Amino acid sequence: MMTAYRHVGKVSMLAAVATALLVCTGAVGAAGQAAVGDKVLALWLWGSTVRSQGADKVAQDLAKHGVTDVFLLVRGTAGKADYQSSLAPPAEEGKEALGDLLKACRPLGIKVHAWFVFNQDKAYTDEHPEDRLWHHGNASTEFKPYEITDGRVCPASEAHLEYTKAMIKEVLEGYDVDGIHLDYIRYGHMVYCFCERHMKKAAELGIDVDRVRQVLFDTNYASPAQPDLYFEKFIEGDPDVAAWVNMRREEVQTAAAAFREAAESVKPGVAFSAALMPEGALEETYAFAMCHYSQSYEDAGKLYDFVCPMAYHLDYDKAPDWVGQVTAGTIEAVGSGVPVYAGIQAYGDKADYDQVKQAVEAALEGGAKGIALFRYGTMTEEFWSAVEAAMK
């Protein structure tokens, strides 16, 4: 994403000094975050990038640009492990990104967080089709529910929750990582999940699932459709729709809390964080976020040591100041005790120097304690220089 820093040496030196000081005085916060000056510069990094470019090269580049924290993908949507795992198949036979990157980042003072995708895990669902996510159903299935076979997992699956807990523990037992970072810790859309497990569970909770399905149908598929109906029913507190949405919210909250507990059981104080969909941070899109994702910022404020709202403004066709609004909304929702590192879009055709710089500036003006760039593999020297200019 970017160009060279003009004060590269100074920035990385400061980062190293700041980190050393924090470590020496034991002043690392609960989140364990390091800082450039007083701001975190984090970024998401795919394991495949580490494996293809080499960990040393990547780590030196991160240090050169003043990166303090890196989220390394150790289990993505394919469900393959980018560390030595006895539970999941390897991302690449005979290789692993996590051990290599940790070794390369330690001497440079860069913190490494193991990044886990939650709601999609192809390797797992291929072995356990009973835990697949089920769609509401569309015209091609005469609106009957059908299973999704691309790896998406039912968030109510106890077995997948246990499996993910075991992987988190496995990482913490085998590697001295600084944090666990959750992604896709949510539902993907309001049309999920209508598996048998969910039908039964909802019925036990006194939810009329047929009514929920009818409102969904009227919202998405009827002719003419009523595109706002589901959200209106949620806002009104409709007994079935609101209870269904709340059931999903509780599943997401329960899963995150279980992962936190698993992490704490192995490494107390390990930083625990998540990437969040941005809509939930803003009042005008709150109902949309709850109905589709069931990912609550209020819950997030109690679950995580820091959060990264993915304020990818270009994908949302927004101006950079929207990043500041999402940041401010996040701070309000999660509370001031939870640092916000705003997710910045540094990818795609529309991203350029000005867009990246203004997005970072808006995040910091909105109160962010740092930023998280998506992602390392798309960074250019132009983007790096925009980040530097905005953060100095």
For the bound state, the minimum distance from the C-beta of residue 154 to Zn ion, rounded and expressed in Å, comes to 3
Q: Who contacts 163 (Cβ-Cβ below 8 Å, separation ≥6)?
A: 87, 124
Nearer to Zn ion, 110 or 256 (CB): 256
Nearer to Zn ion, 36 or 195 (CB): 195
Q: Which of 178, 190, 209 is nearest to 113 (CA)?
A: 178
Q: Rounded to whole angstroms, how far apart are CA atoms 140 and 193?
A: 18
For the bound state, the minimum distance from the C-beta of residue 193 to Zn ion, rounded and expressed in Å, comes to 3
Q: Rounded to whole angstroms, how far apart are CA atoms 328 and 288?
A: 19
Nearer to Zn ion, 51 or 135 (CB): 135
For the bound state, the minimum distance from the C-beta of residue 153 to Zn ion, rounded and expressed in Å, comes to 9
Nearer to Zn ion, 106 or 200 (CB): 200
For the bound state, the minimum distance from the C-beta of residue 251 to Zn ion, rounded and expressed in Å, comes to 9
Q: Which two tokens stand for residue 31?
A: 């989140």
**Interaction residues for Zn ion, span 191-210 (CB under 5 A):** 193, 195, 198
For the bound state, the minimum distance from the C-beta of residue 252 to Zn ion, rounded and expressed in Å, comes to 13
DSSP state at residue 341: E
Fill in the per-residue mask, 244 to 263: x = in contact with Zn ion (CB under 5 A), - = not in contact.
Answer: --------------------
Fill in the per-residue mask, 128 to 157: x = in contact with Zn ion (CB under 5 A), - = not in contact.
Answer: --------------------------x---
- Dmax (CA) for the chain in angstroms is 66
Nearer to Zn ion, 72 or 193 (CB): 193
Q: Which helix (H) or strand (E) holds 41?
A: strand 40-45
Q: What is the Rg, in whole angstroms, of the alpha carbon atoms belonging to the chain? A: 21
Q: Rounded to whole angstroms, how far apart are CA atoms 239 and 244?
A: 8
Polymer length of the chain: 392
Q: Which of 73, 106, 104, 70 is nearest to 88 (CA)?
A: 73
Nearer to Zn ion, 146 or 316 (CB): 146
> Do 362 and 323 touch, CB atoms closer than 8 A?
yes
For the bound state, the minimum distance from the C-beta of residue 274 to Zn ion, rounded and expressed in Å, comes to 21
Fill in the per-residue mask, 323 to 352: x = in contact with Zn ion (CB under 5 A), - = not in contact.
Answer: ------------------------------
* Contact set with Zn ion (CB under 5 A): 154, 193, 195, 198
